[in-house]
Structure 1
Amino acid sequence: MRRLRIEGYVIVSADGRLANVDNLMPDELKFEGDKKFFSAALDQADLILHGRNSYEDQPSSPKRNRIILTRKVGTIAPDPSNPKATLWNPAGASFEAACDHAGIGSGTVAVIGGPGVFGMFMDRYDTFWLSLAPRVRLPDGEPCFPGVPARSPQDVLAAHGLKPGEVQMLDPEEDISVTPFRRAAS
């Protein structure tokens, strides 16, 4: 029986943005405490899932199994530039089929963005780790989820049945925290 634990990870500005107006993660959203938390989480994941514009750019990145969402393939294909990566078009194949192609039948899948990718899994997350940089504002930047900024990221997660847990400080000097939003066990 397949059992995948799906966890999401993002750091957002006070206005719920994950990137600037140029769709790039600015230095203002990069904090050492969050980077360490993120890297440790990805090191524990069995599979990384992201869109073609998202990546983690860390020393361990080439060692990680991943699925990259793209419209450049019809269904599922190996990534010709990365033997640890599977290209997946959700319009042509199921997530489970992409996981099978990647050789992952159980374990933890870390979803790291972008907004459309996060939105696809809203009703499937076991936990979503929402890091917050409350002193950073990115007007006109890329919202972290569909529905933001009309609603806060916290409200979007709650609307999908995820409940906030205990806030953890990642960088007290910069007031950077992470909150796990968990789905109640059914």
Structure 2
Amino acid sequence: MPGLRIEGYVIVSADGMLANADRVMPEELKFEGDKRFFTAALDRADLIVHGRHSHEGQANSPQRKRVVLTRSIGTIAPDPSNPRATLWNPAGTSFEFACELAGVRSGTVAIIGGPAVFGMFMDRYDTFWLSQAPLVLLPGGEPCFPGVPRHSPQEILAAHGMSPGDAQILDAAHGVSVTPWRRAA
């Protein structure tokens, strides 16, 4: 849809995981610097997109307009539990229609997971913000993208035509940084 800028956001462990083996984001993957970066980005976004198991769980979350991917409906419907959310089944209708129904025709769309949702947009991201916690390992955890751990998150982004920009340090004590991966114009 013209006028939409699609950005992805995730923090991963050194082994490319966004959650532990129980599919829960553990405390050791949560850092104040990354939380501030993520919160500010979502506060600027016009629409948040995520799967039914993902959610940012922040103070401003109820104010954010969102599209939630689910297979529990045929196409698209208002979320009965959240007036600012639209439920969307990608098998039933297009992303553009979901955005239209959510009332977003232009602006920034923030994709926040999970892995299958990230994978759906891999060829559509304008920028993917990859935060990394190099001192954290989550063996047997949930990979951030389809194809991890066979390939690193960086290899997958590069394979989809994206190139890294300059990393920004979010937590020097723990080596946590965020790197913008951008699509070549």
Q: Tell me the TM-score normalized by structure 2.
A: 0.99
Q: Secondary structure at the match of 1:96?
A: helix
1:52 Cα offset (Å): 0.2
Report matched runs for 1:67-106 at 5 Å.
67-106=67-106
Structure 1 position 133 matched with structure 2 position 149: no
Alignment deviations for residues 7-37 of structure 1 (CA, whole Å, 9 cap, x no partner): 0000000000000000000001000000000
Give the superposed CA RMSD: 0.7
AA aligned to 1:161 is G
Unpaired segments of 5 or more residues in structure 1? none
Aligned to 2:47: 47
Alignment pair present for 1:117 and 2:117: yes
Letter in 1 for 2:169: M
- 2:22 is aligned to 22
Following superposition, the deviation at residue 3 of structure 1 comes to 1.3
Q: Deviations over 1:108-134 (max 9, x none)?
A: 000000000000000000000000000
Instruction: Name the CA distance, whole Å, in 1 between partners of 2:73 and 2:170.
Output: 38
Q: Distance in 2 between matches of 1:21 and 1:173?
A: 26
Number of paired residues?
185
**2-structure distance, mates of 1:49, 1:127:** 15
Distance 1:123 1:3 in 2: 16
Residue identity in the other structure for 1:129 = W
| TM-score normalised over the length of structure 1 | 0.99
Poorly superposed stretches of 4+, deviation over 3 Å: none
> In 2, distance between residues paired with 1:159 and 1:181?
12
User: Structure 1, residues 144-171: CA drift from partner, whole Å, max 9, x if none?
Assistant: 0000000000000000001000010001
1:87-144 Cα shifts (integer Å, max 9, x gaps): 0000000000000100000000000000000000000000000000000000000000
2: CA distance, partners of 1:3 / 1:98: 15
Q: Secondary structure at the match of 1:97?
A: helix
Q: Give how far 1:2 is off.
A: 3.0
Percent identity between the aligned chains? 73
CA distance in 2, matches of 1:2, 1:123: 15
1:32-56 deviations in Å (ceiling 9; x for gaps):
0000000000000000000000000
